[in-house]
Amino acid sequence: MSAQQLSTKHLLGIKYLTEADLHLIFETADNFKEVINRPIKKVPSLRDITVANMFFENSTRTRISFELAEKRLSADIVNFSASASSVKKGETLLDTVNNVLSMKVDMVVMRHPAPGAPQFLSKHIDANIINAGDGTHEHPTQALLDAFSIREQLGDFQGKNIAIFGDITHSRVALSNIFCLKKLGANVRVCGPPTLIPKYLPQLGVEVAYDVRKTLEWCDVANVLRIQLERQDIKYFPSLREYSQYFGIDKELLDSLNKKVIIMHPGPINRGVELTSDVADSEHSIILQQVENGVAVRMAILYLLAGRK
Amino acid sequence: MKPARFALTIDRLCHQLIENHDTFQDTCIIGIQPRGVALADRIHQRLMAITGVPKIEYGKLDITFYRDDFRQREKPLRASVTEMDFIVEDKHVILVDDVLYTGRTVQAAMTSLQHYGRPQKVELLALIDRRFNRDLPIKADYIGMQVDALDEAYVKVEWLKPDGKDQVLLFPHKEN
């Protein structure tokens, strides 16, 4: 049973949501998915709300997705990117955000390279904060759209086997996905090179595997993550070529399984590294559905947070 | 209002609709979610039974995202499903709701309707018209029954399906 309203004022991470919150978000996103498939895709719900999209780190998908979600809800939007701002002149995060808020902004969507930045902000400001990714910590909206896409494919989560492949250590998508799927009752297994799997994972109830074929045989859904070279300060594996040989998923491997595994990827894809092109574009893949669902899920979150008194 | 009278009222509303819309060729019936749909369902079925027309266009419209009291309520309202598999361009639309009270729901429904085209004409059918409680210049074209009640009173229509028996109840205060 889902709740009437979210239990929290901010979306800082999946960790802080209840299972009822998750179901409420999915059910609301169902309605918005219908809205964005209409000839006129706009509803006036957030017409009196101003949202600031503050991206202190690069992003294409998430930023466009949030912007579309806000526009489809008729919110006013201001965009901010760190590279073209006073952050370069040494302004602190709190000062930057407070300056924006004093121009009467109601909600802040923030991506920041420092884990915990949205938590810090939520203690000091009044506006609703939505975490659009904080360093290697959490990326809640991605996990929600991933789970929403899985729900569309499988119906529910109880007893379903979901595997996450790749760079788990540096991935905020992995951590948010783990929290989200565990709360919904799915079995979660991660698979990747031992150097890229954090040692505390079993404490979260997650199984660890190192064999891609066996993991694919086990799972219903494979969520394949990108190798985040930009966050790797030391070498975690000898070469990308070796990585793709041992941990990459190609069509041959998928076809040799005697079942259909759903392939997901949060993007951007490194074609030929974690997924070959023929897998990314195959009928197994729901990568583009994930992107479509992203807008509906973000509309649901904006709507539910704005509706809270 | 008792079940027998209830059925009579629905039949009268149907016949009034037939007087104006004949074979319903360019007419569609749209129930406003959630509570207008039970009435629209009933009217739609009765109309087809009386006229023998095999198909009358019928949609369910959810107006949650169009309400003007979003953020003024304690909790956000839960949305219902919108099922509109046709465009209302150049059609005669009959909006159906159970209780016409302040008129705000109907206003939201008309805003939302614009997203499905430009209707030729929009009419409103309400089972209960609380005529002294309007906030907006809106009036129903087809009325089941007029109820004169104080502002704080609450009128509830109960249906055979999905939640109990057919009746209209008037409470002195809104239940929580």
- Note the pLDDT tens digit of each residue in B101-141: 999 999 999 999 988 889 999 999 999 998 888 899 999 99
Q: How confident is the model at residue B87 (pLDDT cuts 50, 70, 90)?
A: confident
Report which residue type is found at A295: V
A43 chain-B contacts, CB cut-off 8 A: 65-66, 112
Among chain A residues, the shortest Cα distance to B71 is held by A307
Contacts of B134 (CB under 8 A, 6+ apart): B101, B102, B103
A135 vs B89: CA distance, rounded Å: 49
pLDDT at A46: 93
Residue A5 Cα, gap to closest chain B Cα (Å): 6
pTM greater than the 0.95 cutoff:
no
Among chain A residues, the shortest Cα distance to B70 is held by A307
pLDDT at B175: 56
pLDDT at B161: 55
**Is B104 in CB contact (< 8 Å) with chain A?**
no
Which candidate, A251, A243, A184, places its Cα nearest to that of A18?
A184
User: DSSP letter at A246?
Assistant: H
A108 vs A51: CA distance, rounded Å: 6
- B75's tokens: 């909790």
pLDDT at A264: 97
Selected for mutation to probe chain A from B67, B70, B88, B104 (highest A CB count within 10 Å) is: B70
Among chain A residues, the shortest Cα distance to B63 is held by A43
Burial A162-180 (b: 16+ CB within 10 A, else e): bbbbbbbbbbbbbbbbbbb
pLDDT at B176: 47
Contact assignment for B82 to A28 by CB distance below 8 Å: no
- A164's tokens: 């996450």
Query: Percent of chain A scored above 90 by pLDDT?
Result: 76
Kindly state the average pLDDT of the residues B74-103: 87
Within a 10 A sphere around the Cβ of B146, how many other Cβ atoms?
A: 13
- Which residues lie across from A263 on neighbouring strands? A222, A285
Kindly state the average pLDDT of the residues B2-26: 88
Kindly state the average pLDDT of the residues A61-68: 95
pLDDT at B174: 65
* The pairing of beta strand B27-32 with beta strand B57-61: parallel
Name which of B71, B82, B87 is nearest A34 (Cβ-Cβ): B82
Contact assignment for B76 to A48 by CB distance below 8 Å: no
- What 3-state DSSP class applies to A208? strand
**Candidate from A198-202, A233-237, B37-41 with smallest mean pLDDT:** A233-237
Kindly state the average pLDDT of the residues A289-304: 96
Residue holding tokens 């809104």? B174
**Is B81 in CB contact (< 8 Å) with chain A?**
yes
B112 chain-A contacts, CB cut-off 8 A: 43
- B154's tokens: 């609450």
**Is B78 in CB contact (< 8 Å) with chain A?**
yes
Contact assignment for B71 to A42 by CB distance below 8 Å: no
Contact assignment for A38 to B70 by CB distance below 8 Å: no
Which candidate, A132, A140, A194, places its Cα nearest to that of A169?
A194
Does residue A152 contact residue A292 with C-beta atoms inside 8 Å? no
Is the pLDDT score of A251 beyond 70?
A: yes
Q: At what angle do helices A19-36 and A140-154 cross, to 10 degrees?
A: 80
Is the pLDDT score of A113 beyond 70?
A: yes
Is the pLDDT score of B163 beyond 60?
A: no
User: DSSP letter at B39?
Assistant: H
**Is B136 in CB contact (< 8 Å) with chain A?**
no
Selected for mutation to probe chain B from A28, A40, A43, A51 (highest B CB count within 10 Å) is: A43
Contact assignment for B66 to A44 by CB distance below 8 Å: yes
**Candidate from A146-160, B47-61, B139-153, B154-168 with smallest mean pLDDT:** B154-168
- A304's tokens: 């539910």
pLDDT tens per residue across span A70-84: 999 999 999 988 877
ipTM, interface predicted TM-score of the complex: 0.70
**Candidate from A32-41, A285-294, A298-307 with smallest mean pLDDT:** A32-41
pLDDT at B157: 76
Kindly state the average pLDDT of the residues B42-57: 91
pLDDT at A262: 96
Mean model confidence pLDDT for chain A: 92
Within a 10 A sphere around the Cβ of A272, how many other Cβ atoms?
A: 14
